[in-house]
Structure 1
Amino acid sequence: MGLQRSALRLAGDLIPRMQRRLIDQRSEDRHGGVVERAAIMFRDQEYIVPVINISSRGTMIECDIMPRIGETIVIRFEDCSPIHGFVRWVRDGKLGLNFGHEIILG
């Protein structure tokens, strides 16, 4: 008995969490105030969005879009080349992106 292809897709539904995380599971620090905003390309539309924090492996942005978990969003910071980001979570008008490769902050 095989799974249907549609069941294998990431739906983008939020997984409810009953309590807040007790420990920070991040492998590196996030830095606020390093970048003010970025341009993202989401489903053939460009948006200018505030950047809440950034690390060499990802960023948190503020926006009203509703991507699916795992969906690719191209993000471009001022004076930088575009980077592919993968949606890791969406909550309360914010979303977390994991970069396709590590970037150098500085």
Structure 2
Amino acid sequence: MGAALAIAAPATATMAAAPAQADPGVDVFLSALDHYRLGDIDPATAVRVGEQVCPMLSEPGQNMANVAAKVADELGRPLGPATMFTGLAIQLMCPRAVSALTDGVPFSFIR
């Protein structure tokens, strides 16, 4: 029984450790989704799909319309809300893409 307690103690200490710090960028993204009435998307799914937007845009031949269509499929949403989601993800999760767009740089150069 003493051995079981010795093994359980580190596991209990690990579980009692402070939770990881929240990412303020993710919080802002989720808040923006809520503001634009897209807040009913599961937060974990929203973050996962939102984080995929920038890498998808950097693939050769991709554009926002293609990515929005993929987002629509991922989220099971119509294209209109998926396009809004995609735009918010670009704006809030990949600011380099926004500045590159204003400078006329193709997404494929934003890695």
TM-score where L is the length of structure 2: 0.24
More helix, by proportion: 2
More strand, by proportion: 1
